[in-house]
Structure 1
Amino acid sequence: MKNFFKIGEISKLYGIGVDSIRYYEEIGIIKPQRSESGYRYYSIHDIWRLNVIRDLRSIGFTMEQIREYLDHHTVLSSISMLEDEKNAIAKQIQYLQKLQKNVEHRLHNIHSALSLPLGEICLMNIPPRHCHLLPEGYKNEEEMDVLIKQLINLNQNRLYIIGSNQIGTMISLPSLVNKKVLSYQSVFLIDEEGEDILAGGHYLCVTYRGDYRQSSYWGQELIQYAHTHNFKVLGNLLEILWIDIHTTSDESEYITQLQLPIE
């Protein structure tokens, strides 16, 4: 068995980048020998240290923590480090389980959106929904994106919003009725940890595919349907983005649901 290895051999055998190996040398964690021609040669001891660095870095240990362990490791410090590793791995498992649940939820929502009936008005009983809400209006998608980013920042634990069908807006009912225009009053992000609440109750709902300008037509259709069937409209129109730019760049694939609160 070889006792010394070149930097390229180490990088290939152990999956550690050459730049990383050189950085560890610069900060003094490993100290390879030099040949007369200037080539670095790494010993079995260096390889052990590189393996420890790689493993501990992969679960979030800082370079200072690793340096301290490598320079002063004993049986007791090794036990302590292994306990710390176990705890760090447990946290990573918890994070990955949360990530898996999130991905499964988003996949379910996208498949559900694709199965929604289009252009059909229906009556739904929707429970109260916790959300983060920003009572700020906007005029275009670029302004809306800024507001959505602000909403996401309200809960740093959120992993993704792709395909979540949890983004929505409120459309002014008076503007839609009197002026036939879409006036966006606020944006919200449905989240069980949100401090705001979208009222539960009965909603007239309709789902359409394509660009958001259709919300004007379908919103008026919902209002007309409510009047024809003697429902009382209770508030502004909700626009729920089931499939939007976060899921597809093709506007024709957007799926939006309008929800009109009534009694």
Structure 2
Amino acid sequence: MEQRYTVTRAAEILGVRASVLRYWEEELDLHINRNEQGHRYYTGYDITLLANIKELKKRGLALRAIKDVIPKIAHTVPGSTDSRVKLLEGEKAPDERMVEFQRILERLITQEMQMKKEGEVECRSLDAAIRRRQLARKEAAAALERKRGRRRT
């Protein structure tokens, strides 16, 4: 039988609060299994998925960006009755799924980092323009003060 983890144990393994796991489940529309009493339980796959989500968050990706990739990596657990999407249209072995998942995550991370880098360049350019404008105003104000000082004497 597959190892099952409670929300508390999964949170300990991942180093996050249980409320974070519940929040991610809701925001990312994750389908976490529940036992007969309705309590969440996490499988090894779920723990790996959540660890990758945590890493993406750590690298600065927004949940919205992460949510876009989740349907590509979720899969139907053999024998389960939930409605998870199959990974990339076909059944692959679990190890192949994780390799594909890692590739997708790396591509997503690379794209997000490139967008951040481009945004930083634009911000630096804008900051430089604002500083030049402030300096020009300061110099103009100083020149006006000198001119006024000469008229008074």
TM-score w.r.t. length of structure 2? 0.51
2:4–2:43 contact (8 Å) kept in structure 1: yes
**Structure with greater proportional helix content:** 2
Distance apart, 1:7 and its partner CA: 0.8
2:28–2:70 contact (8 Å) kept in structure 1: no
Aligned residue for 1:55?
55
1:31–1:46 contact (8 Å) kept in structure 2: no
Q: In the alignment, which of 112, 126, 138 is matched to residue 198 of structure 1?
A: 138
Aligned residue for 2:3?
3
Aligned residue for 1:17?
17
1:30–1:46 contact (8 Å) kept in structure 2: no
Alpha carbons of structure 1 residues 84 and 236: separation in structure 2 relative to 1, 3 Å = farther
Distance 1:12 1:77 in 2: 23
Give the greater-gyration-radius structure (CA): 1
Distance 2:127 2:18 in 1: 34
Alpha carbons of structure 1 residues 80 and 36: separation in structure 2 relative to 1, 3 Å = closer
Bigger CA drift: 21-30 or 9-18? Answer: 21-30
AA aligned opposite 1:51: A
- Partner-residue secondary structure (3-state), 1:34: coil
Q: In the alignment, which of 106, 109, 113 is matched to residue 82 of structure 1?
A: 106
1:8–1:18 contact (8 Å) kept in structure 2: yes
Structure 1 unaligned runs (5+)? 96-154, 159-189, 201-232, 238-263
1:59–1:88 contact (8 Å) kept in structure 2: no
Distance apart, 1:54 and its partner CA: 1.4
**Structure with greater proportional strand content:** 1
2:7–2:18 contact (8 Å) kept in structure 1: yes
Alpha carbons of structure 1 residues 56 and 80: separation in structure 2 relative to 1, 3 Å = same
Distance apart, 1:24 and its partner CA: 2.5
Distance 2:70 2:14 in 1: 19
AA aligned opposite 1:234: R
1:25–1:31 contact (8 Å) kept in structure 2: yes
Distance apart, 1:76 and its partner CA: 7.7
Q: How does 1:86-101 map to 2 (within 5 A)?
A: 86-89=110-113, 91=116
Distance 2:108 2:133 in 1: 30
Aligned residue for 1:234?
146
- Identity over aligned pairs, percent: 19
- Partner-residue secondary structure (3-state), 2:134: coil
RMSD: 4.2
AA aligned opposite 1:199: E
Aligned residue for 1:68?
68
Distance apart, 1:156 and its partner CA: 7.9
Distance apart, 1:46 and its partner CA: 0.9
AA aligned opposite 1:68: D
Distance 1:157 1:26 in 2: 38
Distance 1:79 1:54 in 2: 16
Distance apart, 1:78 and its partner CA: 5.7
Q: How does 1:203-218 map to 2 (within 5 A)?
A: none
